[in-house]
């Protein structure tokens, strides 16, 4: 045996208590007197909190601006350092080539001297700075 109850009836029964609302009771004289004292204090506190929040926001923006300036200065410094390193590496590579070229010239000069070319024997040793 199945019991069939319409869904609308169930919803009306279950939700009836939740739907019914009562209007708030009017304030008493004591509550009105308390509000008269508390409302200005609350408004003052809210205004102070609002101004403190504004000051904190301004300070936060100043801190953020300083942070961004520091990051920009750091990036500039890193780029300058990278450029200096690249210049040093290029200079070092030129020095290595100059030394290698001077050594190659010296070996050729020595070979000529060993073969009996007197002019090659009297020449000074090649200077790497001449190949730089």
Vertex 113, ends 108 and 116: CA angle to 5°? Answer: 135
Q: Which domain holds residue 58?
A: 38-131
Distance CA 30, CA 33 (A): 5
> Considering the domain boundaries, does residue 11 fall inside one?
no
Vertex 99, ends 93 and 105: CA angle to 5°? Answer: 135
> Considering the domain boundaries, does residue 114 fall inside one?
yes
> Considering the domain boundaries, does residue 84 fall inside one?
yes
> Considering the domain boundaries, does residue 108 fall inside one?
yes
What percent of the chain has pLDDT above 70?
Answer: 82
Q: How many domains does the chain have?
A: 1
Distance CA 101, CA 93 (A): 12
Question: Which pTM does this prediction carry?
Answer: 0.46
pLDDT at 72 over 60: yes
């Amino acid at each position: 045996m199945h019991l069939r109850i319409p869904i609308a009836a169930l919803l009306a029964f279950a939700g009836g208590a939740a739907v019914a609302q009562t209007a708030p009771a009017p304030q008493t004289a004591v509550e009105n007197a308390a509000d008269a004292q508390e409302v200005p204090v609350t408004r003052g506190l809210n205004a102070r909190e609002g101004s403190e929040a504004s000051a904190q926001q301004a300070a936060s923006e100043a801190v953020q601006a300083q942070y961004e300036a520091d990051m920009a200065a750091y990036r500039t410094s890193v780029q300058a350092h990278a450029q200096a390193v690249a210049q040093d590496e290029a200079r070092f590579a030129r020095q290595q080539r100059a030394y290698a070229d001077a050594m190659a010239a010296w070996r050729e000069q020595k070979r000529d001297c060993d073969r009996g070319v007197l002019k090659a024997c009297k020449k000074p040793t090649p200077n790497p700075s001449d190949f730089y």
